[in-house]
Amino acid sequence: MAAGFKTAEPLEYHRSFLRENCRPDGRELSEFRTTTLNIGSISTADGSALVKIGNTTVICGIKAELANPTVEAPGKGYIVPNVDLPPLCSSRFRPGPPGEQAQAASQFVADVIESSELIQTEDLCIERGKLCWVLYCDLMCLDYDGNLLDACIMALLSALKNTQLPEVTINTETGSPEVNFKKRHELRIHKHPVATSFCIFDESILIVDPTSDEESLVTAQLTVVTDDEGRLCSVYKPGGTSVSGEKLQQCINQATARQREIQKLINKVISSVKTAQ
């Protein structure tokens, strides 16, 4: 009976739960799904992390390569984030080049990296004007059940914290670089941005960490990214119904609390990985 109701009248189905201040999966309106983190599971990548928020799974693998810096910014390296939504993660995505949602997510991640100054691209410079690192950060969704952006930002941050770059010296005689894979060092992570997504249901009810079913029914979505100092790195609301200042403040407060929790989780997993080595 319930399954039939859900399929035939999805909006009414969700409303009947929200009237009782709860959601179909048993959560309260401002409750997050269980978030798990696994770091360094891909040995072919220079850094990797797997994030699960409820069913949503995103894996981030970082590959470092060497390149010439641009003429405009000779002392800077590159960070190239790309989000991929392969047909594997949900039946709504088609094979082929990234669709609109994947492209928008890639640009969002790139903007967050730039806005938060998570990594200073100057740190990726090896020799000014000659050689620098390129960090290819590939984010792949393996199971799409809503709230992609939160999972992506978290996977990216954890993978960058896990990344170990080999030492590079420039041979003074030949001028060519020499890479010593034995000696590796960590990246300097300056900020810890964490994204928190919200949805507005029926133009008034605010819910947090939406599932894909919820995402398809809501009237507006909102993502707030905050860093360790409580500063905002992004308040992204791509349209939808309007939000009042009061609601926005509520979102920001929740995002700040979430940032602390996630940063604690990441640090805990990172230190457990280190002690295991």
Looking at residues 29 to 48 of the shown chain, list those that interact with another protein (rule: CB under 8 A): 41-45, 48
Residue among 103 and 120 whose Cβ is closer to another protein:
103
Rounded Cα distance, 5 and 20, in Å: 17
Q: Which of 53, 59, 152, 153 binds another protein (CB under 8 A)?
A: 59
Q: Judged by CB under 8 A, does residue 70 bind another protein?
A: yes
**Number of residues forming the site for another protein (CB under 8 A):** 84
**Residues in region 176-215 near another protein by CB under 8 A:** 176-181, 212
Sign of the C-alpha dihedral, residues 132, 226, 81, 271?
positive
Burial 163-202 (b: 16+ CB within 10 A, else e): bebeebeeeeeeeeeeeeeeeeeebeeebbbbbbbbbbbe
**Residues in region 118-137 near another protein by CB under 8 A:** 134, 136
Q: Judged by CB under 8 A, does residue 216 bind another protein?
A: no
Using the contact rule CB under 8 A, the part of the chain among 21-29, 32-40, 245-253, 262-270 near another protein is 245-253
Q: Judged by CB under 8 A, does residue 49 bind another protein?
A: no
**Contact code string over 75-114 relative to another protein, x by CB under 8 A:** ---x-xxx-x-xxxxxx---x-xx-x--xx-xxx-xx--x
Residue among 4 and 245 whose Cβ is closer to another protein:
245
Q: CB of 86 within 8 A of CB of 77?
A: no
The CB-of-62 to another protein minimum distance in angstroms stands at 7
Rounded Cα distance, 12 and 7, in Å: 10
Residue among 65 and 268 whose Cβ is closer to another protein:
65
Burial zone of 256 (CB within 10 Å; 0-12 exposed, 13-18 middle, 19+ buried): middle
Instruction: Return the bridge partners of 35, or none.
Output: 53
